Structure 1
Amino acid sequence: MAVILLSTIPLRNLLTRDEPDKRLALSELPAEIRAKGYHWHISLYVVMYLYKFLIDQHNESMKARVGGYTHWVHGLEGDFTLWAQEAFRNDLLTDALSFHYLFVYLFIIWFSPMYFILVRDHVMADKAALNYLVIYLLAVPLYLFFNVEVTSSYIPGMDALLYHDNWFIEFVTNNDPMDNGVPSLHFGLPVGLLIL
């Protein structure tokens, strides 16, 4: 998390190198939050975190009632996922994609609205925060009522490549229930931002 926070300002400076006058100084940030009403952005993230916590507490009991739909997804894709894993298996690629899965996703959640606040773009800050809310609200009912396990727990011969390192295993198992494979927020949030 420290890397995410520390990289925010340098990346903002890189992206605004041609427009330094748009940059908001960190000392001006509290005043900007009050003036532009960014309290709701902060509240939104707190509510979404609490929402996720609540859902994670009820996920297992819901899964027992609703069942799983992993077999439907596997029926559509067949062994393509296993073939892709075998065809592209590479330690460097695994490390790069694991980094993307863990770091880049968390960075996008934080950086997208924060960047627009730090460059004084109130409209895009609103859109980035609403993108997060809409994608999350659309995805969570699917996680609860259309439960799809991760591929490595269902497809015979499929390896859980993300969990190849002790640090990754600890981080992921502490933060991911491993049963919300569809839809992918790692895909939905960035695509939503690109559409904006």
Structure 2
Amino acid sequence: MKSEILAYNPAQEVDMAKQEKGRIPTYLSSEELALLFSGMPASDYYIRNKCMLMLMGLAGLRVVEVHNLNISDIIRNQEDPGIEVTGKGNKARYIPLPVPLYEMLLDYERIYRPIPKPNHSNAFFLSKRGVRISRRRIQEVTENAFDFLKQQPGYQYLEQKKLTAHKLRHTFGTGMVRDGTDLVTIQQLMGHTNLNTTQIYTHVSNEQKQKAMRNKDVSRFFSD
């Protein structure tokens, strides 16, 4: 990149071997995430782009996993809708999907997916040329959505955050922990080999600390 040979860093989405102690991953609040999805720029590829961002933010997919998603990976079971994702080490994992997201994927496939070129017929997300969408394009779509979010009244503080496509995955992991999902389940959903990687999402915000301490009844310790 420094030599201007590459347009992006191919190692950007690679997890570090060791996590820095005390490092809190950057993530979006549920309100920020909702505004990100609802305020995505209008285009001919609005549904495709929204599906891609939602798979990262609501199902924890990596950019490369969105890129690699195939038509054959869609689990077409009305009682248990979901997808099969091929992650690191070529390991496959099953991810059940919220019904509205699953139905949006089917709408994209049925109505908005371009006609694929012969060698790309199984690729789920396609570019306007009918070829598998590139990882860089997925990142650009996400960056454009973040730029729109940062421009909204009251959200300018997000300029101070380094927001990338991978941060949507962090947002998913953090949200699952806060919803009370156990770490082993989150590990399986996110495709982490090591549970230590999943534990970075157990960080606690100042708001959570305040709620826990302000609601604590200590009056009996101060009675005369």
Question: What TM-score do you get using the length of structure 1 for normalisation?
Answer: 0.24
Specify which structure has the bigger relative contact order, considering alpha-carbon pairs within 8 angstroms and separated by 6 or more residues: 1
Identify the structure with the greater helix proportion: 1
- TM-score of the superposition, structure 2-length normalised? 0.22
